[in-house]
Amino acid sequence: MTHDKLPFTPAKLLNCLSFLEHPILLLNGLSGVNYTSLTVGQSSHPPRFAILGHKPLKSLKVVKDTDYSSLTVYPDTQTSTRFEQPEHFISGWAGIIHYPQSHASEPEGLFNYYDASIYLDFESDECFLLSHYPLTEERKKELSQLREIEPQKTAINARKWTPGWTKRQYQTAFERVQDYLLAGDCYQVNLAMPFFCGDDLTDTNPLPLLEAFDAPFSGFFKNDRYWIATVSPERFVKVENGIITTSPIKGTSPRHPDPKCDEANRNQLLASEKNQAENLMIVDLLRNDLSRSAEPHSVKVEKLFALESHANVHHMVSTITAKQKASLTPIDVVRNAFPGGSITGAPKVRAMQIIEELELQNRGAYCGSMGYFDDSGLTDFNILIRTITATKDGAVCWGGGGIVVDSTMDDEYQEILNKIGKILATPI
């Protein structure tokens, strides 16, 4: 692996994030490590690092099944060397996969091939250029050039966000879901609604949003048409040294500024039979999803009903692992499990049909995934929840939750606001 120190700090690099060429930023390398600030010295628990790719050698739109075969090592850098798997992305394909819908206008996936990445070390306040391959001096110089951007000096106001549905429209969709549940079509349906902002945010730096949350699977992706910023708390799937891991979230409780009330909310979530039942449904679904890519009898539930606390909510999280079939690639593993069961419902196919019937807009990137296929075989993808997609025509942020028979409309609607309220209130 090559390792070259760069002549700028993480702060300088992040300041021009929106003006880099086709960048992807992975906070803590999508490793699942919590953080509270991207600025060194502002927090007692800053992130260890971030990984950034820009100026890719190649871009790929995945519009049909066969396109996934192109997600292999870029021909100019092919080598017979077997790389030792690092703890984070270094070089390879990285990008996003949209939530699949029959009437979607976007391609299924957008990936860039990065022959190198920049390691932002927040502890030493240094940046390093990393690659699995020897880089030419010309390529090193190209990847080291930054556009000079003046830091934002004026205060940024919170944006105005408008619900895409009225509460009455949400109630109508909720009641229709209940009809399907009572008829036996599904056990759980993840119903979501969008919130819109009319401002052009495409040249806006999303750093304030990323700084405002301690989300372990945060990231940023930008192409010529839009950017996606996510403060996702959820891992979709990781493949590391032949072990597949997924960590679905089901069960949410709001944070409270009073420590005693906050502790009560935590305990109430952990003791909730309803949330445990919802979580277990998705655990069973994902055990089945992983079994498609796993060696026989290797699927295990490592953690059940664990608690994770974030900036605005507590979550109930379970973890399932499996041993990867030797005949399959990490790309096969991701495709076999996509989309994540926690954001569809169960059974998955019928739940997705109901979602497509009831939701009035395409989800786009929401409930898809952001992540990478490193050239070493290391693979990691999040689930794109708590996510803003920004185009020149405006921005959208979705919120949703799993509905079961004993769900109530008011509680589910409030849960949506609990999940994304702080995102919508964050000035960017």
Q: Give the active site residues.
A: 234, 250
Q: Which residue has the tokens 């929106």?
A: 18
Q: How far apart are CA 347 and CA 180, in angstroms?
A: 12
Residue partners of 339: CB distance under 8 A and separation at least 6: 99, 100, 352, 367, 368, 369
Q: What is the distance in angstroms between the CA of the first residue and the CA of the last residue of the chain? A: 37
Q: How far apart are CA 176 and CA 167, in angstroms?
A: 14
Identify the CA nearest to 425 among candidates 404, 391, 397.
Answer: 397
Q: How far apart are CA 90 and CA 280, in angstroms?
A: 35
Query: Within the chain, what is the greatest distance between any pair of CA atoms?
Result: 65
330 CB-side CA count, 13 A: 25
Rounded to 10 deg, the angle between the 167-182 and 409-425 helix axes is 130
Contact 221, 388 (CB under 8 A): no
Strand partners, 19: none
Pairing of strands 394-403, 188-197: antiparallel
Q: Which helix (H) or strand (E) holds 303?
A: strand 300-309
Contact 345, 188 (CB under 8 A): yes
With residues binned 3-state (H G I as helix, E B as strand, rest as coil), the percentages for the chain, rounded to 5, are 30, 30, 40
Q: Cis bond leading into 75, ω under 30°?
A: no
Token pair in block for residue 151: 């830091």
Token pair in block for residue 305: 């009903």
Residue partners of 347: CB distance under 8 A and separation at least 6: 186, 187, 285
Q: How far apart are CA 339 and CA 363, in angstroms?
A: 12
DSSP letter at 22 equals S
